[in-house]
Structure 1
Amino acid sequence: MSSNEIINIIGIGARTTIGATAPLTASAVRAGINCFAEHPYMIDKIGEPMIVAMDNELSEELLGIERFLQLATPAAQEALTPLKQSNPNITLIIGLPPKRIGLPAHLATEIAQQLPNKIKCTFDQIKTIAGGHASALLAIEQAIQIIQQNPAQLCLIGGVDSYLQPETLEWLDYNQHLHSTANRYGFIPGEAAGFCLLASQQTVHQLSLKPLAQILAVASTQEKNCINTDTVCIGEGLSAAFSNVFQTLKPSNRQIEQIFCDLNGERYRADEYGFSVLRTREFFVDPGKFMAPADCWGDVGAATGALLINLITTAAAKGYAQGELSLLWASSESGERSAALLQAQPLIKE
């Protein structure tokens, strides 16, 4: 990869139920902390309180677009911190959940209009991607194209999601997604936001920035056998995404040392990963050793990709990473499958 093709991650921001910032979130995940608790008033279909991962700093009465904005604003601001002054050449790409019951009306339009004002930043271009779990990785694909066409451009990419709208929780329960006494293979609904600031090698040098990681490859495909259908998923979409990013490894015969993913307790996702690993086993040091932080922050939907990147960069910076080469992947309910390879150099030794 030439210097003109290198895309650097230069800023990270997070707001989760286990941490108000990126460092706090990563530390909580490393310690295995979660904030799962009974919802103040939502009851599942067998009459028990729903277990959720709720941001305790936000009132349960705060719903709709304002809740999404309260989550997204501090995460986006934190990711922009490395810029010492405003930069006119920034594109904002926001990942959002796909259409579902309980989702605020006109979410994409309102977020795109209001978030720049909230974070007090001007963007020359704003895009939204309603791609669910894979949104941030889909956004990275777009950002790479933008930066390679104009190396002076920066891209702020990320996602925000909240399953805690009452109608959404009822919908999850009805469709057997909600983890409960009656459904051990469901997931804990969560809420979060995560953002990453991306820049070319040229911009890194010009602005004297310190890269946290480099994106070696990213790929997205579509799974035709989606969850909640009568079809059987054998991991064809995710396998294709893996194979595409692994093309980068073939000349060097390197193997994946760290895996970060959005497995959330649903058997569909576990089976999908198992099939995909069987097809690509030679690229992994140990495919059974992976980090699935949904057991700490719950399922965070469209926020997933950027939050996984935070775990990778923090592990490298603090010196507890298992290696320099990391795979992260995410699977959306609507069929999008995305994977990315990151190279993170340790910056600090503990």
Structure 2
Amino acid sequence: MDAMKLAVTGLGLVTSIGHGVVGSCAALHAGLSRPGPLGGFVVDDGSGEAVPITGYPVASFAEGFFQTGAWVRLASGAFEDLLHAAQPPTRPDFWHRTGLLALTPLVDPDRFGWSLEDLPDALETSYVQPLLSLLEVPIRKENARALALGHCALAGALLQAREMLESRRVDRVLVLAADSYVDPMSLTWLAHHRRLKSPRWPVGLMPGEAGGALLVEAPAAARTREASAIVHVESAVVDGPAEPGSIPARLGRVLADAVKRVLPAHTPHPFRGDLFLDLNGEEWKAQVWGHAQVLLAGQLDLLRCRTVLPADSLGETGAAGAPVALAASAWAFLREHASGEHALVCALSDNGQVSAVLLGHAKASTAVS
């Protein structure tokens, strides 16, 4: 993504620790969390007693919503927060020239009970169209699409956004992301694959849910309409998916290569800044990052990096995890507690696909551009 930077001019979040980007990022920085029992799904505590699994639901917001219904609720809530914070123009022509990329989890038939092979239009009819109706802004249907890439969806969306902007089909792109692991079908799927953390299985993830929103455009276009950039996207890479059965060492090499590709080719010193990882308590992800870390010894100054694990506060948020990380990075730049002028957001999807996104402090990027 070397040909052009992207300016992020609007952000919105809905998480278990805040119904808004300000509250969510402040709580995330403070290390706060709000875990709670997930009713309707119990596990054996090891002594024969049935106990509810612990997760991170968005309380008083998405209860009673299921699969695409929950995604619509979370994504539209994040958009409402973006509207409140960024206050973009309300005139119709602004939204007619705005594209929409709606990010979703990987559609695994074992998790959801349906597949895109059998229902190729399901995301359009059950997610994108209801979302467009609920947003109440006149985004054209032909400029809206779903992107089912799971954890790596943000990087994929940024690459597609650049293509949409370069083709001049739109002037800006609204990216909405949502994912939820707290519904019974997802919990059953996680438990079947022994991925859930429980009294009998201490190594695993804790399910969560979240929605994220960001408005991206070319920096010059943002300046023309006098919109302030919150953070700049310097580069993004998506690689994979890996071959089935790939071992952590191989995945680590793929992830390390992705990170190397987003970093500037010639710099006087290794990367120093915030490092956002989607480590979630699962052993395989920790092993992948361990292998990548060894291979990146010359590119990352880990002693001078601040490593941030959003899942420690939010649980596993899947496709919404990277947008949450981007918002947290922007918040760190704004509040001046970031460890450098750049940040890295790394992600690893369940199918072995990897992604890396390099972010830049808006003021610092403006000064050198």
Give your verdict on TM over 0.5.
yes
Q: 2:248 aligns with which of 225, 233, 236?
A: 233
Local SS of the residue matching 2:248:
coil
What residue identity is the alignment partner of 1:161? D
Q: Count how many residue pairs are aligned between Structure 1 and Structure 2.
A: 342
Change over 3 Å in CA distance of 1:50–1:107 after alignment to 2? farther
Partner of 2:78: 75
User: TM-score normalized by structure 1?
Assistant: 0.91
Name stretches of at least 5 consecutive residues in structure 2 with no aligned partner.
115-121, 365-369
* Cα distance in 2 between the residues matched to 1:184 and 1:225: 28
Local SS of the residue matching 2:13:
strand
Determine what percentage of the aligned residue pairs are the same residue: 22
Q: Which moved more, 1:253-262 or 1:294-303?
A: 253-262
Partner of 1:194: 212
Partner of 2:7: 8
* Cα distance in 2 between the residues matched to 1:108 and 1:266: 32
Local SS of the residue matching 2:337:
coil
Local SS of the residue matching 2:17:
coil
* Cα distance in 2 between the residues matched to 1:158 and 1:275: 32
What residue identity is the alignment partner of 2:329? I
* Cα distance in 2 between the residues matched to 1:59 and 1:71: 7
Change over 3 Å in CA distance of 1:286–1:112 after alignment to 2? same
Q: CA deviation at 1:251?
A: 4.5
Q: 1:56 aligns with which of 30, 50, 59?
A: 59
Partner of 1:18: 17
Partner of 1:331: 348
Local SS of the residue matching 1:17:
coil
After superposition, what is the alpha-carbon deviation per residue over 1:259-315, rounded to whole angstroms, capped at 9, x for unaligned? 011110111111111111211222222167410010101100011111111001011
Change over 3 Å in CA distance of 1:133–1:45 after alignment to 2? farther
Change over 3 Å in CA distance of 1:209–1:281 after alignment to 2? same
Please tell me whether residue 217 in structure 1 is matched to residue 235 in structure 2: yes
After superposition, what is the alpha-carbon deviation per residue over 1:161-194, rounded to whole angstroms, capped at 9, x for unaligned? 0112212101111111111111121101011111
Q: Kindly indicate whether the alpha-carbon contact (under 8 Å) linking 1:134 and 1:336 is maintained by their aligned counterparts in 2.
A: yes
Please tell me whether residue 174 in structure 1 is matched to residue 192 in structure 2: yes
* Cα distance in 2 between the residues matched to 1:303 and 1:116: 19
After superposition, what is the alpha-carbon deviation per residue over 1:116-160, rounded to whole angstroms, capped at 9, x for unaligned? 121112223011111111111211111122223329610111310
Q: CA deviation at 1:323?
A: 1.2
Q: Kindly indicate whether the alpha-carbon contact (under 8 Å) linking 2:259 and 2:356 is maintained by their aligned counterparts in 1.
A: yes
Please tell me whether residue 157 in structure 1 is matched to residue 165 in structure 2: no
Q: CA deviation at 1:252?
A: 5.2
User: TM-score normalized by structure 2?
Assistant: 0.86
Change over 3 Å in CA distance of 1:103–1:122 after alignment to 2? farther
Change over 3 Å in CA distance of 1:84–1:335 after alignment to 2? same
* Cα distance in 2 between the residues matched to 1:64 and 1:320: 36
Please tell me whether residue 185 in structure 1 is matched to residue 188 in structure 2: no
* Cα distance in 1 between the residues matched to 2:61 and 2:81: 19
Local SS of the residue matching 1:303:
helix
* Cα distance in 2 between the residues matched to 1:104 and 1:161: 16
After superposition, what is the alpha-carbon deviation per residue over 1:294-346, rounded to whole angstroms, capped at 9, x for unaligned? 01011000111111110010111112111111100111102221101110146
Q: Kindly indicate whether the alpha-carbon contact (under 8 Å) linking 1:5 and 1:148 is maintained by their aligned counterparts in 2.
A: no
Q: 1:136 aligns with which of 108, 133, 154?
A: 154
Q: CA deviation at 1:96?
A: 0.4
Matches within 5 A, 1:34-49: 34-46=33-45, 47-49=50-52
Partner of 2:118: none
What residue identity is the alignment partner of 1:255? F
What residue identity is the alignment partner of 2:76? T
Q: Kindly indicate whether the alpha-carbon contact (under 8 Å) linking 1:147 and 1:153 is maintained by their aligned counterparts in 2.
A: yes
Q: CA deviation at 1:233?
A: 1.8
Local SS of the residue matching 1:79:
helix
Higher helix share: 2
Q: CA deviation at 1:29?
A: 0.6
Change over 3 Å in CA distance of 1:126–1:252 after alignment to 2? farther
Partner of 1:120: 136
After superposition, what is the alpha-carbon deviation per residue over 1:80-105, rounded to whole angstroms, capped at 9, x for unaligned? 43412341211111110112344376
* Cα distance in 2 between the residues matched to 1:17 and 1:221: 30
Please tell me whether residue 308 in structure 1 is matched to residue 320 in structure 2: no
* Cα distance in 2 between the residues matched to 1:233 and 1:118: 41
Q: CA deviation at 1:48?
A: 2.4
What residue identity is the alignment partner of 1:314? W
Q: Kindly indicate whether the alpha-carbon contact (under 8 Å) linking 1:94 and 1:159 is maintained by their aligned counterparts in 2.
A: yes
Q: Kindly indicate whether the alpha-carbon contact (under 8 Å) linking 1:12 and 1:197 is maintained by their aligned counterparts in 2.
A: yes
What residue identity is the alignment partner of 2:81? E
After superposition, what is the alpha-carbon deviation per residue over 1:35-58, rounded to whole angstroms, capped at 9, x for unaligned? 111112310255321111111113
